[in-house]
Structure 1
Amino acid sequence: MTAPQSPRPSEWSAADNQPKSLAATYIKGMAMGAADIVPGVSGGTIALIAGIYERLINALGSIGPSLWQVFRAEGGLRGLLAVWRQVDATFLLFLLLGIASSFTTLAGMIKHLLDHQPLLIWSFFFGLVVATVFLLLTEIKRWSIGRMLLFLVGLISAVVISSLPIMTTTPSLPYLFFAGAVAICAMILPGVSGSFILLLLGAYDAVLEAVDTMNLSILLTVIAGMATGLLLFTRALKWLLAHYYQATLALLTGFIAGSLVKVWPWKVDALGTLDSDAIYNVMPWQYPAGAQWATTIGLMLLGAVLVSLLSWWGNRHA
């Protein structure tokens, strides 16, 4: 089973916006949203495995001042439709609807599991990420010294980011704008979790609570920051994917492999006990509640099977 590669922009046709294809896009968006809620797991990883990553980057990278020229060339309603097609807006709309659905329906449940059953949810995502790394490694057609170095750069970068101390602060709205701009760049990069960046910046709890309570002032501020960061970041990534796809894939796979440090299931606090500050990795046999091999390995296998099925499905519906 290999991870599907997104089609080039010229290969996207009207068939990609048929109801069946859009339903698949919506479901993939839900999977991305569920992953983004968990600190340490990236929605970009899901997009890459599901075969929509390059299409997503190209669509986002098409948003910019040049759209005014596209609109002026036709004018009126025709111009608006031309802009809509230029940015692949139907695809983006259904993907965002899927992500939003996950955030509104799953945020509370995932937060509850992280607080009360961390070993179970981390085990599931650990298996998911391990399987993802193996799938993507098979996509590197020919390894060279340069690609191996890029893989190591991605891996080391993700490990360093995962090891940074978490900031404790009461975020203001300008700070939340900044946090959103930084986090969205991480969400787009497979292996670098946007929610973990929010956690590092001390904004994760505020954002998750705002989603639960529908605090529009916080939500709109974070969304504005995300939109700003997205427009500034995706152009560079779009160019890299267009010109150096295999090298960029090696770098992104390194990011995902490095994120395994963050999603390691067996964590304790500084005193070696279990509480909300359990962020330090230990060996399974050092875990206070026991390794729970049957449960943890079973959930890892479940995560690996699901990501393999998503990859297979992405090949059929990319």
Structure 2
Amino acid sequence: MQYQDSKRDYLWMFLKGAGMGAADVVPGVSGGTIAFITGIYARFLAAIKSVDLEALRLLKQQGVKATWQHIDGNFLTAVFSGLIVSAASLAKVITYLLANYQLLVWSFFFGLIVASFIHVAKQVTRWRLINVSACLIGAVIAFIITSLSPAEAQASPMMFFLSGTIAICAMILPGISGSFILLLLGMYGHVLLAVTQLQVLLIGLFLLGCVVGLMSFSRLLSWLFKHYEQVTFALLSGFLIGSLNLLWPWKQVLTTYVNSSGVEKPLTQANIWPWQYSEIYGQAPQTLDCVLLAVAGLVLILAIEKISQRY
């Protein structure tokens, strides 16, 4: 499909890509969710899927211009430029905020995911038994995944490649966080460190893994949307609801571990009520601030949805 995009369209694509990059940095928020809400998800999948043998044939027979049009190159360039710039620039900011304002940050993202669920669930036109079942299955799967204990992996070059291959599949799924998959693999801290320290080789291996994962998984997703659209939307909405388990702000640390840098990290945690948090840790639960930020996150996504529909 040929698109007639203006310079303003490309600026919007860049900003939407930046939103995806910002989301992908945070364990619990999916870049795919942002792509879906901002209305570029279908085009994003189609563009990635078009990087295939046909593109190579066009390159050989008709040259770069025909190939670039086939893969929707301008669109991919704009989105990935925003994604990479945002992820690289926000890595340190997100790390700082999570270290110093954890309750407030998780509350804000809790609101984001609630709004995302509302948006995705609205795509299901009829909540038949099969769709309800798919939603429940998605919620259970996401809940189980987010209840697993993170590991601490050896940061070998091969692990950077493999973690990129696996995590990118989650990054393009609305509701499943690629960053949290990295956390489960024990590679989140290593990847974030590589980005903040500009370790080009390791970043390159991770991105190469992402490319391999994208090329394969995008085809599966496109097939699911083509043949089982309603069930897929219901499943994704379930993923979003189940992922709220991870984003609940008030948690009690049950067990810890010491990572490869000698820093003590939470291993297993349990969700608790704000007053329990105050009793256990002797700190203010900041309940009102957390609720307001959750509402702000919800309103932000709904506002983005309205703006995207308008433009």
Deviation at 1:291, TM superposition (A): 2.9
Q: What does residue 147 of structure 2 align with?
A: 163
Which sections of structure 2, spanning at least 5 residues, go unmatched? Answer: 257-263
Which of 302, 308, 312 in structure 1 is aligned with 2:302?
Answer: 308
Greater displacement, 97-106 / 280-289 = 280-289
State the SS of the aligned residue for 1:168: coil
Question: Following superposition of structure 1 onto structure 2, how do residues 1-318 of structure 1 map, counting pairs within 5 Å?
Answer: 10=1, 13-14=3-4, 17-74=5-62, 79-270=63-254, 276-277=265-266, 279-287=269-277, 288=281, 289-317=283-311
2:255–2:269 CA contact under 8 A, matched in 1: no
Deviation at 1:25, TM superposition (A): 0.6
Q: What does residue 260 of structure 2 align with?
A: none
Deviation at 1:66, TM superposition (A): 2.1
Distance in 2 between residues matched to 1:262 and 1:302, nearest whole Å: 19
Distance in 2 between residues matched to 1:310 and 1:48, nearest whole Å: 11
Deviation at 1:252, TM superposition (A): 1.2
Deviation at 1:157, TM superposition (A): 1.1
Distance in 2 between residues matched to 1:229 and 1:271, nearest whole Å: 33
Deviation at 1:245, TM superposition (A): 2.0
Counterpart code for 2:90: L
Distance in 2 between residues matched to 1:100 and 1:300, nearest whole Å: 26
1:128–1:307 CA contact under 8 A, matched in 2: yes
Greater displacement, 210-219 / 275-284 = 275-284
Supply the RMSD in Å over aligned alpha carbons.
1.6
1:115–1:276 CA contact under 8 A, matched in 2: no
Distance in 2 between residues matched to 1:300 and 1:254, nearest whole Å: 19
1:54–1:241 CA contact under 8 A, matched in 2: no
2:138–2:237 CA contact under 8 A, matched in 1: yes
Distance in 2 between residues matched to 1:178 and 1:71, nearest whole Å: 29
State the SS of the aligned residue for 1:270: strand
Q: How many residues are aligned here?
A: 299
Distance in 1 between residues matched to 2:122 and 2:275, nearest whole Å: 32
CA offsets, 1:236-266, max 9 Å, x none? 1111222322221111111111111111111
CA offsets, 1:187-229, max 9 Å, x none? 0111111011111111111110111110011101101111111
Greater displacement, 192-201 / 280-289 = 280-289
Percent identical residues: 39
2:120–2:236 CA contact under 8 A, matched in 1: no
Q: What does residue 261 of structure 2 align with?
A: none
Deviation at 1:57, TM superposition (A): 0.8
TM-score (norm 1): 0.90
State the SS of the aligned residue for 2:247: coil
Deviation at 1:151, TM superposition (A): 1.0
2:106–2:247 CA contact under 8 A, matched in 1: yes
TM-score (norm 2): 0.92
Which sections of structure 1, spanning at least 5 residues, go unmatched? Answer: 1-9
Deviation at 1:233, TM superposition (A): 0.7
CA offsets, 1:19-66, max 9 Å, x none? 111111111111111111110111111111111111111111111122
Distance in 2 between residues matched to 1:234 and 1:145, nearest whole Å: 27
Counterpart code for 1:193: S
CA separation of 1:279/1:18 partners in 2, compared to 1, >3 Å: closer, same or farther?
farther
Distance in 1 between residues matched to 2:131 and 2:196, nearest whole Å: 42
Deviation at 1:73, TM superposition (A): 4.2
